[in-house]
Amino acid sequence: MNVGKSVKVAIAKSEKSVGWLAAELGVGRVRASVIANSEKASQETIEKLASVFNMKVSEFIALGE
């Protein structure tokens, strides 16, 4: 599982930006960028990301495989 790839694909599919993601997660743009370039993340972060993109966790993870 590559969380960063999942984030990048989800952003592209939803036609959103890293800035939008940062606002949705309540973090700064730098932190959102770090997440978007990470291979791993905590279960809590993955659940938040899936929720932000309106997906099931399994759907979100599948984007990065």
CATH of the domain at 12: 1.10.260.40
Tell me the pTM.
0.91
pLDDT at 25: 95
- Give the Cα separation of 39 and 44 in Å (integer): 15
Per-residue pLDDT of the chain (65 residues; tens, 9 = 90+): 799 999 999 999 999 999 999 999 999 999 999 999 999 999 999 999 999 999 999 999 999 99
Total number of domains in the chain: 1
pLDDT at 36: 93
- Give the Cα separation of 58 and 6 in Å (integer): 11
Residue whose tokens read 């809590």: 44
Range of the domain at 17: 3-63
pLDDT at 1: 78
Where helices occur in the chain by DSSP H, the ranges are 3-14, 18-25, 29-36, 43-52, 57-63
Using the Cα atoms of residue 13, residue 3, residue 58 and residue 62 in order, give the sign of their dihedral: positive
- Give the Cα separation of 40 and 38 in Å (integer): 6
